[in-house]
Amino acid sequence: MTATHENPFRNLPSIDRVVADARLQALIDRHGRDAIVDLAREVVEEHRRAIESAGTAPADDAVDTVLARAASLQSTLARVVNATGVIIHTNLGRAPLARSALDAMQRASTGYSTLEFDLERGERGSRFTHVESLLCHVTGAEAALVMNNNAAAVMLALAALCHGREVIISRGQLVEIGGGFRIPDVLRQSGANLVEVGTTNRTRLADYEAAITDRTAAILRVHPSNFRVIGFTEETPLADLVRLGHERGLVVLDDVGSGALLDTRAFGLGAEPMIQDSVRAGVDVVLASGDKLLGGPQAGIAAGRASAIDAMRRHPLARALRMDKGSIAALAATLEHYRRGDALTEIPVWRMIALDEDTLGRRARRWSRACGEFGIARAGRSTIGGGSLPGEELDTVVCAVTPPDGHATAFAAALRAASPAIVARIEDGAVLLDPRTVEPSEDTHVEITLARLCGRPVPLTTAD
C-alpha cells in the first residue's frame, strides 16, 4: 500500500529488478533475455503512466503481468489430443501423417534435396515429377500434378482449361466446402463463366446437353461432400457426362473432394467417390485433397489426361499455387503405402477407420476407471469429418464423464487446459471422449488427466 505522504514513484519497480525475478528465468531461457527485457520495460512504463494519472501504482504485480504477456510470444499452434471421434477434423489439422511421411518430410527439409534437380544429367529438373509416376500408378491416370491444396488445383484447372469460356455445372453441386470456399466464387476468380443447369435436387443429361454452346469449354462435376440431398433426387452418372462431353469436344472435370483411394464401403460406411473410378470413367482431370481420406499432407491432386495436365503445368498460376518440398516428400511417402498395399495399417486415417470395437472398448473402459464413479464406457458414434461421408458414422465405445460438479462445459475446458490439450465433445450434459481418434501413445496422458480432474488417485498400472 502506498502511504499518501510517500512519493508514489518510489513503488515503481525497476526493469532490472523485474527481469531478475526468479519466476521469469524459465521465460528468459525460452525466449531470450531481450524479449523479456522489452516486456518488462513495457509493463514498468504502464505502471509509471498509471502513477502519473491516478497517483498510485496498479494493483497488479509487474512480474505477474510479464508472465501473462509472455504467453503471446509463443506460437498458438500446439499439439492437441483429438478425443472428439471426428477423424478428419478440419479445425484440428485434418489427417495426421504416417510415420514414413514424417520421416520423408524431415529428410527433404533438413538438408538439400533433388527438388528441382536431375541427378543423372546434373541439370535442372522439375518439382512436379517426384510424385507424378506414383500418382499415375495408384490412380491409373496418364498424367498427374500436385498443387498446394485442392482449392488451388480446382482453380488452376479452370484457369488453364476454361478461361474466358463457359463451364457447365449442376445447381445441386454449387457447394460451399467450408471456410467460405464456394465453387461459384472459385469459378469466377479463374476467369471462367459459370452456367448453372438443372435444379437443386435433380439434374439430367438433357439439362447439360441443352446448355452446350460454342462458348462451352467444360463440364464440371463437384462432389457435394459435406451434405446430402435425400428424397426426390437425380444426378447424372459420371459416365454419361464423359460421353456427352467428349462427343461435343468438351473437357470433363471432376472434383471428388476427399480423394479416397480405398473403398469406404468395406468398413460399413457409404460410398465415397474414389479417384481411380473417375479416372476409369474417362474424366479429363480428377481433383482431390491430399489431407482428407487420402491421409497425407495438405495437397491438391490433379490426375487425368496428359494434354489437360500439361496445360495446367504450363499455366503461370502453377508457380503461385505450387506445393512445398516437405509436403511433396510426405505425399510421396503416403502414396507409397497405397502402392505397397499397407495403407490400412500405416496411414493413421485408415488405421482409425479400421479400429475394432474390442480395442476401442478396452481403452474406453480404462479411461472410465480412471474417473471412478464419474465415468462410464458406453456405445457411441465416431464420424469421418473433413467434408467426407456426411451422416455416416462408425460404431465406437466412448468414455462418458459426468463431472463431479455437474458442469460439463467447465470439465471440457479443464481438459483443454491440460498439456497437451485434450479436445472432447459434450452430449446431453456428459463429456464424451472417443479413443478412435486418440493415438494409443496418448492414452496415459488422457487417463492421468481424467483422474486428476475427477479428484481420483492417479492410475499407476497400464494393465487392462
Ligand X SMILES: *Cc1c(COP(=O)(O)O)cnc(C)c1O
Q: Report the 3 state secondary structure along 170-226.
A: EHHHCCEEECCEEHHHHHHHCCCEEEEECCCCECCHHHHHHHCCCCEEEEEEECCCC
Q: From residue 69, how far is each of 39, 42, 43, 62, 65 by CA, in Å?
A: 8, 10, 9, 11, 6
* Of residues 84 and 225, the one with the C-beta less far from ligand X: 225
Distance CA 351, CA 461 (A): 26
Q: Please choose, out of 17-25, 37-45, 143-151, 358-366, the segment that lies near ligand X by the rule CB under 6 A.
A: 143-151
Nearest to 149 by CA among 301, 303, 294: 301
Q: Please choose, out of 14-22, 98-106, 254-262, 328-336, the segment that lies near ligand X by the rule CB under 6 A.
A: 254-262
For ligand X, the binding residue among 65, 84, 216, 225 (CB under 6 A) is 225
Residue 223 touching ligand X (CB under 6 A): yes
Residue 264 touching ligand X (CB under 6 A): no
Residue 173 touching ligand X (CB under 6 A): no
Closest separation in Å from C-beta 406 to ligand X: 39
Residue 133 sits at φ, ψ, to 5 deg, of -70, -35
Residue 177 touching ligand X (CB under 6 A): yes
* Of residues 237 and 249, the one with the C-beta less far from ligand X: 237
* Of residues 117 and 181, the one with the C-beta less far from ligand X: 181
For ligand X, the binding residue among 138, 145, 168, 222 (CB under 6 A) is 222
Question: What is residue 405's three-state secondary structure?
Answer: coil
Relative to beta strand 123-124, strand 117-118 is: antiparallel
* Of residues 290 and 403, the one with the C-beta less far from ligand X: 290
Inter-axis angle of helices 325-340 and 99-110, nearest 10 = 150
User: Contact, 329 vs 107, CB < 8 A?
Assistant: yes
Q: Which of residues 336-395 bind ligand X (CB under 6 A)?
A: 387
Residue 150 touching ligand X (CB under 6 A): yes
State which amino acid sits at residue 41.
R
Residue 172 touching ligand X (CB under 6 A): no
Classify burial at 417, counting beta carbons within 10 Å of its beta carbon; exposed 0-12, middle 13-18, buried 19 or more.
exposed
Residue 296 touching ligand X (CB under 6 A): no
Closest residue to ligand X in the complex (CB)? 257
* Of residues 258 and 449, the one with the C-beta less far from ligand X: 258
Closest separation in Å from C-beta 291 to ligand X: 7
Query: How many residues line the site for ligand X (CB under 6 A)?
Result: 14
Q: Please choose, out of 191-199, 220-228, 328-336, 400-408, the segment that lies near ligand X by the rule CB under 6 A.
A: 220-228
Closest separation in Å from C-beta 255 to ligand X: 5
* Of residues 8 and 304, the one with the C-beta less far from ligand X: 304
**All three cell numbers of 293:** 481420406
Q: From residue 375, how far is each of 316, 354, 366, 417 by CA, in Å?
A: 57, 26, 10, 19
Q: Please choose, out of 9-17, 145-153, 313-321, 410-418, the segment that lies near ligand X by the rule CB under 6 A.
A: 145-153
* Of residues 298 and 368, the one with the C-beta less far from ligand X: 298
**Cell 472428439 belongs to residue:** 84
Residue 284 touching ligand X (CB under 6 A): no
Closest separation in Å from C-beta 66 to ligand X: 39
The Cβ of residue 53 has, within 10 Å, a number of other Cβ atoms equal to 8
Residue 254 touching ligand X (CB under 6 A): no
Q: Please choose, out of 45-53, 149-157, 191-199, 318-326, the segment that lies near ligand X by the rule CB under 6 A.
A: 149-157
Relative to beta strand 251-257, strand 181-182 is: unpaired
* Of residues 289 and 449, the one with the C-beta less far from ligand X: 289
Question: What is residue 80's three-state secondary structure?
Answer: strand
Residue 149 touching ligand X (CB under 6 A): yes
Q: Please choose, out of 3-11, 67-75, 221-229, 446-454, the segment that lies near ligand X by the rule CB under 6 A.
A: 221-229
For ligand X, the binding residue among 82, 84, 216, 289 (CB under 6 A) is 289
Residue 155 touching ligand X (CB under 6 A): no
Angle value at C-alpha 390, between 384 and 392, nearest 5 degrees: 65
Torsion of CA 313, 314, 319, 321, to 10 degrees: -40
Distance CA 307, CA 143 (A): 9
Question: What is residue 261's three-state secondary structure?
Answer: coil
| Residues binding ligand X (CB under 6 A) | 149-151, 177, 181, 222-223, 225, 255, 257-258, 289, 300, 387
